[in-house]
Amino acid sequence: MAEWVCNPQKLRLQACLLPDEFKDGFRNNKGWIYFIIKPTSARACAGITVFRMLIMLQIKNLTKIYDGGVKALDNVSFDVPDGQFLAVIGLSGSGKSTLLRCINRLIEPTDGQILWNGEDITKASPDEMRRIRRKIGMVFQQFNLVHRSRVITNVLAGRLGYINPAWSLLNRFPKADMEKAVKQLERVGIADKANQRADELSGGQQQRVGIARALMQDPEIILADEPVASLDPVLAHSIMKHLEDINEKDGVTILCSLHFLDLVHRYADRVVALNEGKLVFAGLPTEIDDQKFKDIYGRDAERIG
């Protein structure tokens, strides 16, 4: 569990006194992870600070087999603490998108468990999933906007899980939601585009609409499925900085699938890596040495830069 130690400023952590039963190492207790760090940025108790952080998401032995026998995920297990920025890496076809889409059940898992704040998503009914998805934002590689609709209408789609479905058919939203949508567009720097059609925007602007839409859900977690794969490097950093800002200022947990290790090192607290559907690495970005790089990307792969 030592690999979970990351920047305390980026986690909702609670300092507490060290109970006797936790003096000789790490322990689990009803979903909490206790660990000791040096008192460099938090209140110390007799020279020792103990933080506890809630495991928001647990992936247990997750398997997905598509029609035709293709195994996209093969017995994948890992935990995600509340407030972490987790990068999911691997080659195209390694299972990254399948993993993220299984978490909110856009794709149905074949086997295994997905525990969200202790609740088994894999067993949730349709009504329960509607409630759960309210708090799980999604950002897509291809933006998934209604191109002929206005930007603000696309952003308001993030409130569909909260309002009467009949209102959404009439494209009617409460005044508070309209005001909230404008604020989210201001946050991502495109409030002036609110009344333009989505297909009139550049790729980077469309992805910012996607982020604003996710923020409308008041999410506890955002699943970002290769959000910068269609963008050039300058725009990629712009989008990643918005996700970083949401993580740091709002405490929203981020799971972000990425191709490029420079982005992983710049933005992620922790990394999980997939290869042919199997989990081949879980740890800190700095722990990806040359051997682990080849385990993830193949023996013929070479680092760039």
Tens-place pLDDT, residues 288-301: 887 888 888 876 66
pLDDT in tens, the chain (305 residues): 333 334 444 444 444 444 444 433 444 444 445 454 444 444 444 444 555 567 899 999 999 999 999 999 999 999 999 999 999 999 999 999 999 999 999 999 999 999 998 899 999 999 999 999 999 999 999 898 999 999 999 999 999 887 766 566 667 788 999 999 999 999 999 999 999 999 999 999 999 999 999 999 999 999 999 999 988 888 999 999 999 999 999 999 999 999 888 899 999 999 999 999 999 999 999 898 878 888 888 766 665 54
Give how far Cα 288 sits from Cα of 80, 272, 294, Å: 19, 10, 9
Per-residue pLDDT tens for 125-153? 999 999 999 999 999 998 989 999 999 99
For the chain, state the CA radius of gyration.
20
Task: Please name the amino acid found at residue 140.
Answer: F
Look at residue 27 in the predicted model and tell me its pLDDT: 41
**Alpha carbon distance 19, 130 (integer Å):** 39
Query: How far is it, in rounded angstroms, from Cα 51 to Cα 28?
Result: 13
The DSSP output letter for 82 is: T
Q: How far is CA 113 from each of CA 30, 130, 138, rounded to the nearest angstrom?
A: 17, 18, 20
Q: CA angle 80-85-86, nearest 5°?
A: 60
Cβ atoms within 10 Å of 175's Cβ, excluding its own? 7
| CA neighbor of 207 nearest in space, from 183, 220, 225 | 225
